[in-house]
């Protein structure tokens, strides 16, 4: 029984690792769609969310089954519970990639001449860097680095605050392309939200490794 329990825990971690690898690829494909103006890539990402939903639901079922049937010790229970919550964050990141691809496709179908504003790529890469760091922290159980993911989120928030007025100015200067610039505003917001989910993953790593929850020793959970 113990061997089966340990095997299942290892399988869950392997499954999450595969999921994260796929999600990192999708984040890169979303980036390519946006900045290379690749409509086919945008449509592929937009329509690919179901595969993540199915994959995540399967891992969640396995996680819950162990929690309910195996009576895990406290540290294992925290790991299982934290993983379950991380899976929820990964699901939202996948959803946001699909949503961003939807808006990218709309922009390209409407008028591909309307390019991403200056600074947009920097914000996407800041968001992507944060997510990759949070993924590594989870997979490696690195609670020390997880403490500082919020600092990266501050950078993404600053990008948002800097870019939003630029987009507002573009809308005023180019009223014929208002719809596309509004979609860029929505993309901006989705990038900010996606980074927030990466920050949450870092927070759950701290819970799993240090048993810290919101309010504990100044630790906050967004």
Backbone angles phi, psi at 179, to 5 degrees: -60, -40
Cβ neighbours of residue 64 closer than 8 Å, sequence gap 6 or more:
84
Note the pLDDT tens digit of each residue in 91-105. 999 999 999 999 999
Tally the domains of the chain.
Answer: 1
DSSP secondary structure string for all residues of 112-132:
TTSPPPTTHHHHHHHHHHHHH
Would you say residue 157 has pLDDT above 70? yes
- CA dist 14 and 34 (Å) reads 31
CATH for 69:
1.20.58.220
How large a percentage of the chain has pLDDT more than 90? 82
pTM of the model: 0.93
Grade residue 3 by pLDDT with cuts at 50, 70 and 90.
Answer: confident
Note the pLDDT tens digit of each residue in 167-204. 999 999 988 999 999 999 999 999 999 999 999 999 99
How large a percentage of the chain has pLDDT more than 70? 95
Grade residue 221 by pLDDT with cuts at 50, 70 and 90.
Answer: very low
**Torsion, CA 209, CA 210, CA 214, CA 217, rounded to 10:** -150
More confident residue, 73 or 136: 136
Report the pLDDT averaged over residues 8-31: 97
Range of weakest confidence among 25-34, 42-51, 212-221: 212-221
Range of the domain at 182: 2-218
Would you say residue 220 has pLDDT above 80? no
């Amino acid at each position: 029984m113990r061997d089966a329990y340990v095997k299942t825990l290892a399988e869950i971690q392997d499954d999450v690792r595969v999921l994260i690898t796929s999600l990192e690829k999708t984040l890169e494909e979303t980036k390519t769609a946006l900045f290379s103006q690749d409509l086919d890539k945008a449509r592929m990402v937009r329509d690919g969310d179901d595969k993540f939903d199915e994959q995540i639901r399967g891992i969640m079922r396995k996680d819950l089954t162990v929690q309910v049937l195996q009576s895990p010790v406290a540290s294992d229970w925290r790991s299982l519970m934290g993983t379950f919550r991380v899976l929820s964050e990964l699901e939202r990141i996948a959803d946001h990639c699909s949503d961003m691809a939807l808006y990218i496709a709309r922009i390209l179908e409407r008028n591909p001449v309307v390019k991403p504003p200056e600074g947009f790529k920097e914000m996407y890469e800041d968001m992507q860097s944060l997510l990759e760091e949070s993924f590594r922290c989870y997979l490696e159980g690195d609670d020390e680095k997880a403490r500082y993911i919020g600092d990266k989120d501050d950078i993404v928030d600053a990008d948002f605050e800097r870019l939003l007025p630029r987009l507002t100015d573009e809308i005023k200067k180019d009223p014929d392309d208002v719809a596309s610039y509004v979609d860029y505003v929505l993309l901006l917001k989705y990038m900010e939200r996606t980074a927030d989910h990466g920050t949450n993953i870092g927070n759950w790593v701290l819970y799993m490794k240090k048993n810290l929850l919101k309010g504990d020793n100044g630790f906050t959970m967004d």
